[in-house]
Amino acid sequence: MLVDTHCHLYLPEFKQDLDDTILRAKNSGISKIILPNIDSKSIDSMFNLYYSDTNLFSIAIGLHPRSVKEDYELELSKIFKHSINIIGIGEIGIDLYWDKTFLKEQQVVFDFQLNYACENNLPVIIHSRNSLKEVLDIVKLYLPKGLKGVFHCFPGNLQEAKQIINYGFYLGIGGILSYKKNNMLEVVENIDLEFILTETDSPYLSPVPYRGKRNEPSYMFEIVKLISSLKKIDYDDVANITKNNAIKLFNF
């Protein structure tokens, strides 16, 4: 059984064939799909999907750094009133790839959400695109408060991966592992499987041979297959160990 620890299946990209996509996911061995939120516009569709199958889905609430604008306080209040049945806070972090205009606001929002996670003893799902160093410095401040979580779509090198597991965090590994010349090959070869979570980030970042197309949870198979061959560990063992890692972190 596989767990997709990061999937935005509630987005309009899946409106046409949502039921079939879910069926393909189940048929491919997926037993749990974790849905992290984006902003106040996505929260209703995310909760609706969650209530359609509370065994298959689990949810996290949070304000994505790319959605942080001058109205961030209103956004946070709209999102954080939906705190029932959540298993984590996400996705949250800092994004310096798309737009740096609201960097200060991104940091304020990140701090708010990290505090919320610590106070409620919830794991965090962290987005750190082009900002890994900044995010690591901030996360370090919350370790004494018991912060735990995953660096989703881990973007760093082996040294940074070691720092993250020293923090007690997990590395979220997805489609990038299948791309030519990527840091993740070295990371996955050298980091013990007990620190790795599997994810698709659907509808983004499809693994080869689906690269460039819409991603979906059933493609997780390709990622687990790659981890299995890189680490020379049986496919079923990779699936089992990474599933247990996800259960340990998110407590579902």
Contact positions toward Zn ion, by CB under 5 A? 91
For Zn ion, the closer CB: 91 or 216? 91
Q: Minimum distance between the CB of residue 190 and Zn ion, rounded to whole angstroms? A: 25
Smallest separation (angstroms) from Zn ion to the CB of 8: 6
Nearer to Zn ion, 4 or 91 (CB): 91
DSSP for 93-116, written as a single string = E---SS--TTHHHHHHHHHHHHHH
Q: How far is the CB of 204 from Zn ion (least distance, A)?
A: 7
Cβ 35 to Zn ion shortest distance, Å? 10
Indicate the residue among 38 and 227 with the shorter CB distance to Zn ion: 38
Q: Nearer to Zn ion by C-beta: 29 or 93?
A: 93
DSSP state string for the chain? -EEESSB-TTSGGGSTTHHHHHHHHHHTTEEEEEEE--STTTHHHHHHHHHH-TTTEEEEE---GGG--TTHHHHHHHHHT--TTEEEEEEEE---SS--TTHHHHHHHHHHHHHHHHHTT--EEEE-TT-HHHHHHHHHHHGGGT--EEETT----HHHHHHHHHTT-EEEE-GGGGSSS-THHHHHHHS-GGGEEE---BTSSPPTTSTTSPP-GGGHHHHHHHHHHHHT--HHHHHHHHHHHHHHHH--
Rounded Cα distance, 173 and 199, in Å: 6
User: Smallest gap, in angstroms, from Cβ of residue 235 to Zn ion?
Assistant: 25
Nearest-approach distance from CB 64 to Zn ion, in angstroms: 7
46 or 188: whose CB is closer to Zn ion? 46
Q: Which is nearer to Zn ion, 91 or 160 (CB)?
A: 91
